[in-house]
Amino acid sequence: MTLVPQGPKQGSEAAIWQDVEFGSYVADLPLWEELARQAEGAVLELGAGSGRVALHLAQAGVQVIAVERDPELAEELERRTRDLPVEVIAGDVTAIDRLRPETGDGDIALVIAPLQLVQLLEADERKLLLDAVAGLLARGRRLAVTLVDESTLVDLGVAAAVKPDMREIQGWVYYSEPLWVQVSDDALRMRRLRERVAPGGDLVRRAHDDVLHRLPPERFLDEARAAGLVPVENREIASSEYEAGSILLVLEAV
Protein backbone atom coordinates (compact mmCIF):
# COMPACT_ATOMS: atom_id res chain seq x y z
CA MET A 1 0.00 0.00 0.00
CA THR A 2 1.30 3.45 -0.94
CA LEU A 3 0.77 6.11 1.70
CA VAL A 4 -0.11 9.57 0.38
CA PRO A 5 1.36 12.43 2.46
CA GLN A 6 -1.44 14.39 4.10
CA GLY A 7 -0.15 17.94 3.70
CA PRO A 8 1.11 20.66 6.06
CA LYS A 9 0.38 20.34 9.76
CA GLN A 10 -1.10 23.84 9.95
CA GLY A 11 -4.21 24.76 7.94
CA SER A 12 -6.89 22.58 6.40
CA GLU A 13 -6.58 21.28 2.84
CA ALA A 14 -9.83 22.99 1.81
CA ALA A 15 -8.65 26.33 3.19
CA ILE A 16 -5.28 26.02 1.47
CA TRP A 17 -6.89 25.49 -1.93
CA GLN A 18 -9.16 28.48 -1.34
CA ASP A 19 -6.11 30.56 -0.45
CA VAL A 20 -4.27 29.37 -3.55
CA GLU A 21 -7.10 29.98 -6.00
CA PHE A 22 -8.80 33.05 -4.51
CA GLY A 23 -6.44 34.53 -1.92
CA SER A 24 -4.75 36.94 -4.31
CA TYR A 25 -8.04 38.35 -5.63
CA VAL A 26 -8.48 41.85 -4.21
CA ALA A 27 -10.53 43.75 -6.83
CA ASP A 28 -13.74 43.49 -4.80
CA LEU A 29 -12.33 44.28 -1.35
CA PRO A 30 -12.60 48.11 -1.57
CA LEU A 31 -16.29 47.80 -2.47
CA TRP A 32 -17.10 45.50 0.45
CA GLU A 33 -15.28 47.87 2.80
CA GLU A 34 -17.08 50.89 1.36
CA LEU A 35 -20.48 49.24 1.73
CA ALA A 36 -19.65 48.10 5.27
CA ARG A 37 -18.67 51.62 6.36
CA GLN A 38 -21.84 53.04 4.83
CA ALA A 39 -23.92 50.46 6.70
CA GLU A 40 -22.42 51.40 10.08
CA GLY A 41 -23.04 48.07 11.78
CA ALA A 42 -22.33 44.35 11.72
CA VAL A 43 -21.75 42.68 8.35
CA LEU A 44 -23.02 39.15 7.75
CA GLU A 45 -20.89 37.38 5.16
CA LEU A 46 -22.38 34.38 3.38
CA GLY A 47 -19.99 31.60 2.38
CA ALA A 48 -16.98 33.11 4.13
CA GLY A 49 -14.67 30.23 3.21
CA SER A 50 -11.11 30.62 4.45
CA GLY A 51 -11.68 34.28 5.32
CA ARG A 52 -10.47 36.37 2.40
CA VAL A 53 -13.19 39.04 2.85
CA ALA A 54 -13.93 38.54 6.55
CA LEU A 55 -10.28 39.05 7.50
CA HIS A 56 -10.00 42.19 5.38
CA LEU A 57 -13.13 43.76 6.89
CA ALA A 58 -12.27 42.76 10.46
CA GLN A 59 -8.77 44.18 10.14
CA ALA A 60 -10.41 47.43 8.99
CA GLY A 61 -12.43 47.50 12.22
CA VAL A 62 -15.71 46.10 10.89
CA GLN A 63 -17.69 43.63 13.03
CA VAL A 64 -18.25 40.50 10.92
CA ILE A 65 -20.55 37.51 11.31
CA ALA A 66 -19.14 34.86 8.96
CA VAL A 67 -21.31 31.93 7.85
CA GLU A 68 -19.63 28.88 6.29
CA ARG A 69 -21.28 25.48 5.82
CA ASP A 70 -18.07 23.44 5.45
CA PRO A 71 -17.10 22.50 9.04
CA GLU A 72 -13.41 22.23 8.11
CA LEU A 73 -13.38 25.73 6.62
CA ALA A 74 -15.39 27.14 9.51
CA GLU A 75 -12.91 25.69 12.00
CA GLU A 76 -9.97 27.15 10.10
CA LEU A 77 -11.71 30.54 9.84
CA GLU A 78 -12.31 30.49 13.60
CA ARG A 79 -8.60 29.92 14.14
CA ARG A 80 -7.58 32.71 11.76
CA THR A 81 -9.94 35.31 13.22
CA ARG A 82 -9.49 34.48 16.91
CA ASP A 83 -8.21 37.94 17.85
CA LEU A 84 -10.47 39.88 15.47
CA PRO A 85 -14.12 41.06 15.69
CA VAL A 86 -15.44 38.02 13.81
CA GLU A 87 -18.13 35.57 14.90
CA VAL A 88 -17.96 32.34 12.90
CA ILE A 89 -21.11 30.28 12.37
CA ALA A 90 -20.92 26.82 10.81
CA GLY A 91 -24.14 26.29 8.90
CA ASP A 92 -26.04 26.53 5.65
CA VAL A 93 -26.48 30.03 4.22
CA THR A 94 -30.04 29.20 3.18
CA ALA A 95 -30.99 28.97 6.87
CA ILE A 96 -29.29 32.07 8.25
CA ASP A 97 -32.49 33.20 9.93
CA ARG A 98 -32.26 30.10 12.16
CA LEU A 99 -28.51 29.83 12.68
CA ARG A 100 -28.24 32.69 15.15
CA PRO A 101 -31.50 32.88 17.14
CA GLU A 102 -30.31 35.81 19.27
CA THR A 103 -30.04 38.02 16.20
CA GLY A 104 -32.87 40.54 16.07
CA ASP A 105 -33.92 43.41 13.84
CA GLY A 106 -31.20 46.01 13.61
CA ASP A 107 -28.33 43.67 14.56
CA ILE A 108 -27.30 43.08 10.94
CA ALA A 109 -26.53 46.21 8.95
CA LEU A 110 -25.41 44.52 5.73
CA VAL A 111 -25.44 41.02 4.22
CA ILE A 112 -22.83 40.25 1.57
CA ALA A 113 -22.37 37.29 -0.78
CA PRO A 114 -18.95 37.57 -2.49
CA LEU A 115 -17.44 35.45 -5.26
CA GLN A 116 -20.69 34.49 -7.02
CA LEU A 117 -21.92 32.52 -4.02
CA VAL A 118 -25.56 32.85 -5.16
CA GLN A 119 -24.65 31.13 -8.43
CA LEU A 120 -23.59 28.02 -6.54
CA LEU A 121 -27.21 27.61 -5.41
CA GLU A 122 -30.13 26.02 -7.22
CA ALA A 123 -33.20 28.22 -7.81
CA ASP A 124 -35.07 26.76 -4.82
CA GLU A 125 -32.02 27.30 -2.61
CA ARG A 126 -31.76 30.92 -3.76
CA LYS A 127 -35.40 31.42 -2.80
CA LEU A 128 -34.71 30.07 0.68
CA LEU A 129 -31.70 32.35 0.98
CA LEU A 130 -33.50 35.48 -0.22
CA ASP A 131 -36.50 34.83 2.01
CA ALA A 132 -34.17 34.33 4.98
CA VAL A 133 -32.25 37.53 4.23
CA ALA A 134 -35.47 39.52 3.82
CA GLY A 135 -36.70 38.19 7.15
CA LEU A 136 -33.44 38.99 8.87
CA LEU A 137 -32.85 42.53 7.63
CA ALA A 138 -34.60 45.52 9.12
CA ARG A 139 -36.21 48.01 6.75
CA GLY A 140 -33.57 49.96 4.83
CA ARG A 141 -30.77 47.46 5.52
CA ARG A 142 -29.03 45.98 2.49
CA LEU A 143 -27.90 42.82 0.71
CA ALA A 144 -24.99 42.96 -1.75
CA VAL A 145 -24.10 40.08 -4.07
CA THR A 146 -21.75 39.52 -6.99
CA LEU A 147 -22.50 37.66 -10.21
CA VAL A 148 -19.88 36.66 -12.75
CA ASP A 149 -19.69 38.85 -15.83
CA GLU A 150 -19.90 36.08 -18.41
CA SER A 151 -18.56 38.24 -21.21
CA THR A 152 -15.18 38.49 -19.47
CA LEU A 153 -15.05 34.80 -18.60
CA VAL A 154 -16.30 33.25 -21.83
CA ASP A 155 -15.85 35.69 -24.70
CA LEU A 156 -12.25 36.46 -23.76
CA GLY A 157 -11.44 32.80 -23.15
CA VAL A 158 -10.11 31.11 -20.03
CA ALA A 159 -6.49 32.03 -20.73
CA ALA A 160 -7.34 35.73 -20.71
CA ALA A 161 -9.56 35.49 -17.65
CA VAL A 162 -7.50 33.48 -15.20
CA LYS A 163 -3.92 32.37 -14.60
CA PRO A 164 -2.20 29.48 -12.83
CA ASP A 165 -1.92 29.98 -9.06
CA MET A 166 0.83 28.60 -6.84
CA ARG A 167 1.69 28.77 -3.16
CA GLU A 168 4.32 27.12 -0.97
CA ILE A 169 3.34 26.21 2.59
CA GLN A 170 5.84 24.57 4.95
CA GLY A 171 7.72 23.07 2.02
CA TRP A 172 4.57 21.81 0.28
CA VAL A 173 3.84 23.31 -3.13
CA TYR A 174 0.24 23.82 -4.25
CA TYR A 175 -0.39 24.56 -7.92
CA SER A 176 -3.73 25.21 -9.63
CA GLU A 177 -3.96 25.67 -13.39
CA PRO A 178 -7.21 26.64 -15.17
CA LEU A 179 -7.88 24.35 -18.11
CA TRP A 180 -11.20 25.31 -19.67
CA VAL A 181 -14.66 26.85 -19.25
CA GLN A 182 -17.59 24.79 -20.51
CA VAL A 183 -20.82 26.65 -21.19
CA SER A 184 -24.23 24.98 -21.26
CA ASP A 185 -27.70 26.47 -21.24
CA ASP A 186 -27.84 26.37 -17.45
CA ALA A 187 -24.30 26.31 -16.11
CA LEU A 188 -20.70 27.41 -16.38
CA ARG A 189 -18.27 24.60 -15.56
CA MET A 190 -14.69 25.67 -14.89
CA ARG A 191 -12.06 22.94 -14.66
CA ARG A 192 -8.73 23.32 -12.90
CA LEU A 193 -5.78 20.98 -12.60
CA ARG A 194 -4.70 20.83 -8.97
CA GLU A 195 -1.24 19.56 -8.07
CA ARG A 196 0.22 19.13 -4.60
CA VAL A 197 3.92 18.34 -4.24
CA ALA A 198 5.24 17.11 -0.89
CA PRO A 199 8.67 18.22 0.39
CA GLY A 200 10.03 14.81 -0.62
CA GLY A 201 8.73 15.17 -4.17
CA ASP A 202 5.57 13.00 -4.01
CA LEU A 203 2.97 14.43 -6.40
CA VAL A 204 -0.82 14.29 -6.15
CA ARG A 205 -2.63 15.52 -9.25
CA ARG A 206 -6.42 15.86 -9.58
CA ALA A 207 -8.95 17.67 -11.76
CA HIS A 208 -11.30 19.99 -9.88
CA ASP A 209 -14.52 21.48 -11.26
CA ASP A 210 -16.34 24.61 -10.08
CA VAL A 211 -19.90 24.88 -11.37
CA LEU A 212 -21.85 28.13 -11.43
CA HIS A 213 -25.51 28.29 -12.39
CA ARG A 214 -26.03 30.84 -15.12
CA LEU A 215 -27.94 33.70 -13.56
CA PRO A 216 -28.58 36.88 -15.53
CA PRO A 217 -28.82 39.93 -13.24
CA GLU A 218 -32.41 40.58 -14.34
CA ARG A 219 -33.51 37.11 -13.21
CA PHE A 220 -31.83 37.47 -9.83
CA LEU A 221 -33.39 40.89 -9.31
CA ASP A 222 -36.83 39.42 -10.06
CA GLU A 223 -36.19 36.68 -7.48
CA ALA A 224 -35.08 39.30 -4.95
CA ARG A 225 -38.17 41.47 -5.53
CA ALA A 226 -40.39 38.45 -4.91
CA ALA A 227 -38.70 38.10 -1.49
CA GLY A 228 -39.24 41.77 -0.62
CA LEU A 229 -35.81 43.14 -1.57
CA VAL A 230 -35.64 46.03 -4.02
CA PRO A 231 -32.61 46.93 -6.18
CA VAL A 232 -30.93 50.22 -5.33
CA GLU A 233 -27.55 50.08 -7.05
CA ASN A 234 -25.34 48.04 -9.36
CA ARG A 235 -21.66 48.35 -10.17
CA GLU A 236 -19.07 46.60 -12.27
CA ILE A 237 -15.93 45.05 -10.84
CA ALA A 238 -13.63 45.26 -13.82
CA SER A 239 -11.83 42.28 -15.24
CA SER A 240 -8.06 42.28 -15.47
CA GLU A 241 -5.52 40.42 -17.54
CA TYR A 242 -5.94 37.42 -15.25
CA GLU A 243 -9.31 37.78 -13.51
CA ALA A 244 -12.88 37.68 -14.78
CA GLY A 245 -15.10 40.64 -14.04
CA SER A 246 -18.14 40.69 -11.76
CA ILE A 247 -21.41 42.56 -11.43
CA LEU A 248 -22.22 43.86 -7.95
CA LEU A 249 -25.92 44.15 -7.12
CA VAL A 250 -27.13 46.00 -4.01
CA LEU A 251 -30.67 45.45 -2.73
CA GLU A 252 -32.62 46.91 0.17
CA ALA A 253 -35.17 45.46 2.56
CA VAL A 254 -38.57 47.18 2.47
**Residue at 229 is within a domain:** yes
Give the confidence band of 160 by pLDDT, cuts at 50, 70, 90. very low
- Residue 5 domain-assigned (yes or no): no
What's the CATH code of the domain at 115? 3.40.50.150
3-state secondary structure 190-230: EEEEEEEECCCCCEEEEEEEEEEECCCHHHHHHHHHHHCEE
Which residue type is seen at 222? D
- For position 152, what pLDDT does the model report? 83
Domain extent at residue 188? 152-212
Do 156 and 64 fall within a single domain?
no
Q: Does residue 198 share a domain with residue 89?
A: no
Mean pLDDT score, 116-145? 96
The whole-chain average pLDDT of the chain stands at: 90
**Tally of domains within the chain:** 2
Residue 106 lies in a domain: yes
> What integer is the mean pLDDT of 216-225?
98
Mean pLDDT of 112-131: 97
On whether both 232 and 246 belong to a single domain, the answer is yes
Domain of residue 193, CATH code: 2.20.25.110
Distance set, CA 162 to CA 21, 24, 156, 178 (Å): 10, 12, 10, 7
Do 236 and 124 belong to one domain? yes
Instruction: Assess if residue 189 is contained within a domain.
Output: yes
User: Does one domain contain both 130 and 172?
Assistant: no
Minimum mean pLDDT among 43-47, 76-80, 105-109, 111-115: which range?
105-109
Residue 33: inside a domain: yes
Nearest by Cα to 171 from 138, 150, 194, 197: 197
> Does residue 25 sit in the same domain as residue 135?
yes
- Whether residue 201 is contained in a domain is answered as yes
Flag whether 160 is in a domain: yes
The model's pTM = 0.91
**Are 53 and 174 part of one and the same domain?**
no
Does 76 lie in the same domain as 30? yes
137/177 same-domain check: no
Nearest to 253 by CA among 94, 150, 118, 142: 142
The pLDDT tens digits for 225-240 are 999 999 999 999 998 7
Q: How many Å apart are CA 37 and CA 57, to the nearest integer?
A: 10
* One domain for residues 84 and 167: no
Q: Note whether 139 and 31 are same-domain residues.
A: yes
67 lies in the same domain as 106: yes
Residue 5 pLDDT level (bands cut at 50, 70, 90): low
